[in-house]
């Protein structure tokens, strides 16, 4: 009997001990572990956002410094327009490369051999990062095209004008056509290349937008080949309207030049569709327009 009582007491003590240990067991339960993991993920997310904000602020300050320095150089070179274009390209190469280094995204460049000749370079556009990449990777002797209002952008707009980049008046179709003619004349006269975004604006979700006709009209007037630059991943790295830069890998791919020697004004729409189709073939599914957008 005593042995039986002792055994029963031992069992009761074991059960009581298990009861006392229950809180410890709950602490390591799957639900609690999941909550702990969620808290850690939230902390990591906040840390990632904080680092992103710091990177953006450093980018902004760094760009202001280089812009100020090159603005002084441009003022000293006022009598020499072509030298200002060259200095504008150097500014873009230095500043664009520096900003991409600060952001820290892994970058792969393909087809760089197609970036050596005079051409009309075009690029898809879905992120502020696209601007940095284009500044860095376009060849010397290349000018950009922007709306005439860019001159009102503090410091950067004035540098853009000083660097002899080109502006167009988009207030009405007649003014836009005349501006395009002036741009084409400047490109031919000064033996320049062009860089522009044929979508005309940034895509909100990274998907390719319809192309405007301006780049085709410029090709018809300058007879320069068109070199498509395909940007992949920039829309994930820095989304439009966001202040969170993610360490997403980015690919920059130059495609072979598209000859425009035999292009005619009667087939402008066909050429727009042709070049747009080239992008559709080389962009990932996540950056292609939806079927509804294409219809």
Q: Which residue has the higher pLDDT, 248 or 40?
A: 248
12 falls in which pLDDT band (50, 70, 90)? very low
Q: Mind listing the pLDDT tens digit for each residue in 108-131?
A: 999 999 999 999 999 999 999 999
Which domains are present in the chain?
Answer: 47-294 (3.40.1130)
Q: Mind listing the pLDDT tens digit for each residue in 163-211?
A: 888 888 877 777 777 888 888 998 999 899 999 999 988 898 999 999 9
Average model confidence (pLDDT) for the chain? Answer: 85
Residues in the chain: 295
Q: What contacts 198, CB < 8 A, 6 or more positions away?
A: 122, 211, 212, 214, 215, 275
37 falls in which pLDDT band (50, 70, 90)? low
Residue 217 has pLDDT above 50, yes or no: yes
Residue 25 has pLDDT above 70, yes or no: no
The CA distance from 255 to 156, in Å, is: 30
**Four-CA torsion 21, 24, 30, 32, nearest 10 degrees:** 140
Q: Which residue has the higher pLDDT, 29 or 72?
A: 72
- What are the structure tokens assigned to 22, written together? 């229950």
Say if strands 193-196 and 226-232 run parallel, antiparallel, or are unpaired: unpaired
Grouping H, G, I as helix, E, B as strand and the rest as coil, residue 123 is strand
Q: Mind listing the pLDDT tens digit for each residue in 44-101?
A: 678 888 899 999 999 999 999 999 999 999 999 999 988 999 999 999 999 999 999 9
- Lowest-pLDDT choice from 157-161, 222-226, 277-281: 157-161
């Amino acid at each position: 009997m005593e042995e039986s009582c002792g055994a029963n007491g031992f069992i009761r003590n074991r059960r009581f001990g298990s009861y006392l240990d229950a809180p410890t067991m709950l602490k390591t339960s799957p639900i609690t572990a999941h909550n702990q993991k969620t808290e850690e993920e939230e902390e990591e997310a906040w840390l990632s956002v904080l680092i992103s904000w710091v990177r953006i602020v450093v980018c902004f300050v760094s760009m202001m410094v280089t812009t100020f320095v090159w603005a002084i150089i441009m003022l000293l070179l006022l009598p020499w327009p072509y030298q200002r274009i060259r200095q504008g390209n150097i500014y873009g190469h230095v500043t664009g490369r520096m900003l991409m280094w600060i952001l820290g995204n892994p970058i792969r460049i393909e087809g760089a051999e197609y970036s050596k000749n005079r051409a009309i370079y075009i690029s898809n556009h879905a992120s502020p990062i696209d601007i940095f990449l284009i500044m860095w990777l376009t060849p010397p002797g290349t000018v950009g095209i922007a709306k005439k209002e860019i001159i009102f952008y503090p410091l950067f707009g004035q540098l853009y004008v000083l660097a002899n980049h080109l502006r167009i008046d988009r207030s009405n179709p007649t003014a836009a056509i005349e501006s395009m003619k002036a741009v084409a004349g400047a490109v031919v006269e000064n033996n320049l290349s062009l860089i522009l975004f044929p979508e005309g604006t940034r895509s909100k979700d990274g998907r390719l937008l319809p192309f405007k006709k301006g780049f085709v009209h410029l090709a018809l007037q300058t007879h320069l080949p068109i070199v498509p630059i395909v940007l992949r991943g920039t829309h994930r790295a820095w989304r439009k309207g966001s202040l969170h830069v993610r360490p997403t890998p980015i690919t920059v791919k130059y495609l072979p030049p598209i000859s425009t020697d035999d292009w005619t004004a009667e087939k402008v729409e066909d050429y727009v569709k042709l070049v747009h189709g080239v992008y559709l073939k080389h962009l990932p599914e996540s950056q292609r327009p939806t079927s509804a957008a294409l219809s």
